Amino acid sequence: MNTRISFELVKTCRQSGARLGILHTPHGDIETPCYMPVGTQATVKAMTPRDLEDVRAGIILSNTYHLYLRPGHDLVREAGGLHTFMHWNHPILTDSGGFQVFSLAKMNDITEDGVVFRSHIDGSSHFFTPEKVMEIEEALGADIAMCFDECAPFPSDHAYAYGAMQRTHRWAERCREAHTREDQALFGIVQGSTFRDLRVESARTLAAMDFPGYGIGGLSVGEPKETMYEMLEEIMPFMPENKPRYLMGVGSPDCLLEGVLRGVDMFDCVLQTRTARNGLAMTRHGKRMLRNAVYERDFTPIEEGCDCYACRNGFTKAYVRHLVKEKEILAAQLITMHNLRFSIRLMEDVRQAIREDRFGDFAREMLEQGIYA
């Protein structure tokens, strides 16, 4: 299984313990640590694939729950899979819908077999089992698929979190049994809410199942960031060295740095694209609400030193502010390009710092100078 996907741990930063790696996939190699832009509905909002290549996106994420509902995984399979459908010839990861059926669907009814839920769009009833989700993810055909898991809300009590974690483990076994595509890696997902003992148990149990990679789920769901960092520290000794670790749904710049410091290899987050559509630009010195009057006659780029399409071509804050105020689509396009490139460039610099054994210094410097958090 997963013969065409593998992870290579290149080195560990002597200063910080952060990891540098390469994820080999049928659609190319991805250097880690990496940030994955999110293309929920088979499109990273406001970006053409050409724009995504321009920001040097390596791997993107798409959402199984959304694509199952619309346009339907059968249609995507008929189109030749997600890569062909959306014209993205680089790696893709699909989540399992586990998060969405618990957070986005109108109701859900969990049994050992699976989850009955109602679509957030039209209220129609659907049933996800681990086997069904594997069928969907195989139809989508991403390079990396995620196991169907139960994501406990925050806060959960210990008993509830324990039950959800155990079910996640049983479902992980069923996913592994049901999964057949050799050109797709199936990652397990560590759960356990905010309980140290459960997180450790989940990490150990999943490690024993020998998945080619691991998601860390159920974090960034409302708990304090410090709690998330503690959970990461707790589980890392039990995560296999030679497997990639993907912190799901996390990607604010400070969390990228803190996550890498604790041994995370992969991240995804909608923050970059969602805030862009509200006129917020991320910079290494904090956020810029480009709508603000202070930028009315600011004829400098969004961020000095940035090499995104907008910044390198001299689109000014004054111009982008005008576009934001006029609700022009180009505002979303330019700021999305900036925020994605900002995050991807940050990860390029992160990798360079690891390569040079100075990632501890780099992270501290970025955090001290007030990088967008």
Binding site for its own copies (CB under 8 A): 41-43, 45-51, 70-71, 75, 78-80, 84-87, 296-297, 299, 309, 313-316, 318-319, 322-323, 325-326, 328-330, 332-334
Whether 272 contacts 358, CB under 8 Å: no
Pick 48 or 111: Cβ nearer its own copies: 48
Minimum distance of its own copies from residue 50's CB (angstroms) = 7
268 given a catalytic annotation = yes
Q: Annotated catalytic residue: which of 51, 95, 149, 265?
A: 95
**Closer CB to its own copies, residue 42 or residue 235?**
42
The least distance separating its own copies from the CB of residue 301, rounded to whole angstroms, comes to 11
Name which of 20 and 320 has its Cβ closer to its own copies.
320
For residue 95, the minimal CB distance to its own copies (Å) is 18
Angular region, 187: left φ>0, alpha ψ -120 to 50, beta rest: beta
Q: Which is nearer to its own copies, 93 or 323 (CB)?
A: 323
CB 113 within 8 A of CB 129: yes
- Residue 190 CA to residue 206 CA, distance in Å, equals 7
Phi, psi of 266 (to 5 degrees): -140, 145
In the numeric block, the tokens 């912190």 are attached to 247
- Report which secondary-structure segment, H or E, holds 196: helix 196-209
Nearest Cα neighbor of 54 from 312, 294, 270, 268 is 312
Radius of gyration, CA atoms only, the chain: 20
Catalytically annotated residue among 149, 254, 268, 307: 268
Q: Could you give the 3-state DSSP secondary structure of residue 121?
A: coil
Q: Is 183 in the active site?
A: no
CB of 185 to its own copies, least distance (A): 25
Active site residues: 95, 268
